Amino acid sequence: MIDLQASGKGLDGYGLLTAQLESLLAGERDLIANAAQFSAFLYTQMDDLNWAGFYFNRDEELVLGPFQGQIACVRIAIGRGVCGTAAATRQTQRVEDVHAFAGHIACDSASNSELVVPLIKDGRLLGVLDLDSPSVGRFSEEDQAGVEKLVEIFLRLTDC
């Protein structure tokens, strides 16, 4: 497991993760297979996560996709909570303390911070990648930039 915060490697640590993700997804283009692999990869390779997974846009509602962690909310309205806000704004949401986020949806009471990256391909909102941590302030600007780069790789190597 790579502790990107403690290592001080920042994006260098993410450089290793990008190479590993490229290799992991090489040769497979299926959305569900790649989303399952990607969520398991993030959950096992990033330190201090308690949930990593996807919500996919289905008829303007986010529906649970492949994930690692505790059971989760199955459907989230676009515009509601951190995931729904990322989907509505099409902008990454990095929330230091989810309990201070207006309208936060507590699927797992152990989650204290969250990073949600929208999945946009050819101008279409496909869904979001959601990372949760039990630690307040877990996600840095470097984490945001690194995970956004990983999402770009996922979208490029996946048929969606």
pLDDT tens per residue, range 80-111: 999 999 999 999 999 999 999 887 787 777 89
From its phi and psi, is residue 85 left (phi > 0), alpha (psi between -120 and 50) or beta?
alpha
pLDDT tens per residue, range 4-17: 443 334 446 799 99
CATH topology of domain 4-156: Beta-Lactamase (3.30.450)
Locate all alpha helices (DSSP H) within the chain, ordered by sequence: 4-7, 11-25, 31-45, 81-89, 141-156
Rg (CA), the chain: 14
Residue 109, SS3 per DSSP? coil
Whether the per-residue pLDDT at 25 is higher than 80: the answer is yes
Please state the domain extents for the chain.
4-156
CA 78 and chain centroid, separation = 16
